Amino acid sequence: MLTNLIVNAINHSGDDEIELQLTANQLTLSNSIKVGQSTSGLGIGLKIVEGVAIGQGWEFSYQVQAEQFAASINFS
């Protein structure tokens, strides 16, 4: 699950930074989306991540705004 999120971030951010934030109750990953890069491929992996999270009793959410992607897993 984490591998999918991190690999997607690397593949879609180009040379930009990827930010990971971890607290006791939440993991958030965010990255920019390289301008002009296709976002094809975003979707099925996110559904798998969501399914794993739900199976563990966690909440998963993500959003894409302008040129920024963010995903969060709430463990509480």
- Give me the domains of the chain, ranges plus CATH numbers: 2-74 (3.30.565.10)
Q: What is the pLDDT of residue 42?
A: 53
pTM for this one? 0.81
Q: What is the mean pLDDT of each run of 10 residues along the chain (76 residues)?
A: 87 86 96 70 80 96 91 94
Q: What is the pLDDT of residue 10?
A: 86
SS3 letters across the chain: CHHHHHHHHHHHHCCCCEEEEECCCEEEEEEECCCCCCCCCCCHHHHHHHHHHHHCCCEEEEEEECCEEEEEEECC
Q: What is the pLDDT of residue 45?
A: 85
Residues 6+ apart with CB under 8 A from 13: 31, 32, 33, 34
